[in-house]
């Protein structure tokens, strides 16, 4: 009888494993690599939304500066969000900071993380070396994501053995204020990973848009020709009057452009 039940047990175990593998990863623990303006901002919104966050950089001095910047940013947020409830604002800051720790050893902290977000220097080789090293120590379920605004996500993913658990999360500066996040899916990114990244973006209070792994993604790809055309208009003298003296038309121009871009992104 025991021999008859073994295939059934194995089959049941395989089915359970397959079902678990098909489920989206609910991100609870986040490691942010890079304590600069973008990394600190990402760490702040993740901690403020209840995630356990470890912010990593090369020195304690950098991390102290990052933490101080986060504290100041949280104070600005609470002045608006809890204008009539200072006690609630103080509690919000305290809870957020409790969710945040720092480290100078990325390898030591990735062993228990669900999501690694890289926000370091825009250098392909440096990023590749980082991901290749962390790939050896992070758990199998851990998703890797880059905040790069210009480098190809596919090339970064190829430095690891988890191409299916790799994507892009492009936040905008200042992170606590800007709602948009570009979620970049490579040809190798699994649907499970993509959905987990979308869910995480929503969980931190952002409005994610899906994007293919194309140069500049969406916003920067639109921004470059937009800026070039603005330069051409200036060279032709069209905007000299607007730039030389304050004009009531400028807010109308910004409003029109904002509505136009809103239609592009939101439909």
Q: Does any domain span residue 144?
A: yes
Is there a single domain that holds both residue 168 and residue 226?
Answer: no
Reported as a pLDDT band with limits 50, 70 and 90, residue 12 is very low
For the record, the structure tokens of 248 come out as: 């009531």
Q: Does any domain span residue 49?
A: yes
Considering the candidates 99, 147, 182, 196, report the single residue annotated as catalytic: 182
Q: Does any domain span residue 42?
A: yes
Give catalytic status of residue 258 as yes or no. no
Give catalytic status of residue 147 as yes or no. no
pLDDT tens readout for residues 147-162: 999 899 999 999 999 9
Give catalytic status of residue 170 as yes or no. yes
pLDDT at residue 242, as a whole number: 53
For the record, the structure tokens of 169 come out as: 């999360």
As a residue count, the chain comes to 267
In this predicted structure, the answer to whether residue 239 has a pLDDT above a threshold of 80 is: no
pLDDT at residue 121, as a whole number: 97
Considering the candidates 146, 149, 159, 201, report the single residue annotated as catalytic: 149
Start-end of H helices in 83-212: 86-98, 106-109, 124-135, 153-157, 191-203
Give catalytic status of residue 29 as yes or no. no
Q: Does any domain span residue 19?
A: no
pLDDT at residue 233, as a whole number: 73
Q: Does any domain span residue 54?
A: yes
The C-alpha atoms of residue 267 and residue 197 are separated, in whole angstroms, by 22
pLDDT tens readout for residues 89-137: 999 999 999 999 999 999 999 999 999 999 999 999 999 999 999 999 9
- What are the binding residues for CoA? 73, 80, 149
pLDDT tens readout for residues 191-209: 999 999 999 999 999 999 9
Is there a single domain that holds both residue 36 and residue 63?
Answer: yes
Is there a single domain that holds both residue 150 and residue 43?
Answer: yes
Q: Does any domain span residue 237?
A: yes
Is there a single domain that holds both residue 234 and residue 204?
Answer: no
Q: Which domain holds residue 94?
A: 25-212
Q: What is the CATH number of the domain that holds 121?
A: 3.40.50.720
The C-alpha atoms of residue 151 and residue 148 are separated, in whole angstroms, by 6
pLDDT at residue 222, as a whole number: 81
Considering the candidates 118, 170, 190, 201, report the single residue annotated as catalytic: 170
Q: Does any domain span residue 18?
A: no
The C-alpha atoms of residue 264 and residue 17 are separated, in whole angstroms, by 41
What DSSP string runs through 4-57? HHHHHHHHHHHHHHHHHHHSPP---EEEEE--SHHHHHHHHHHHHTT-EEEEE-
């Amino acid at each position: 009888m025991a021999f008859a039940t073994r295939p059934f047990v194995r089959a049941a175990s395989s089915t359970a494993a397959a079902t678990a593998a098909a489920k989206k990863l609910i991100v609870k623990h986040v490691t942010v690599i890079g304590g600069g303006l973008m990394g600190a901002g990402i760490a702040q919104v993740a901690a403020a939304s209840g995630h356990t966050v470890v912010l990593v950089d090369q020195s304690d001095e950098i991390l102290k500066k990052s933490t101080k910047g986060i504290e100041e940013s949280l104070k600005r947020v609470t002045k608006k969000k809890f204008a009539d409830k200072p006690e609630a604002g103080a509690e919000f800051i305290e809870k957020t900071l409790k969710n945040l720790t720092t480290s100078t050893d990325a390898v030591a902290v990735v062993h228990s993380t669900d999501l690694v977000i890289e926000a370091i220097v825009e250098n392909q080789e440096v990023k590749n070396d980082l991901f290749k090293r962390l790939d050896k120590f992070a758990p199998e379920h851990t998703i890797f994501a880059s905040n790069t605004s210009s480098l190809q996500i596919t090339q970064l993913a190829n430095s690891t053995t988890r191409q299916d658990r790799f994507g892009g999360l492009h936040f905008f500066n200042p992170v606590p204020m800007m709602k948009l996040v570009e979620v970049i899916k490579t040809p190798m990114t699994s649907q499970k990973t993509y959905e987990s990244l979308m869910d995480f973006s929503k969980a931190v209070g952002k409005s994610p848009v899906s994007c293919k792994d194309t140069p500049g993604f969406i916003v920067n790809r639109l921004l470059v020709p937009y800026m070039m055309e603005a330069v051409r208009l200036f060279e032709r003298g069209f905007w000299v009057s607007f730039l030389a003296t304050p004009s009531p038309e400028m807010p109308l121009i910004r409003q029109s452009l904002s509505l136009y871009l809103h239609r592009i992104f939101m439909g």
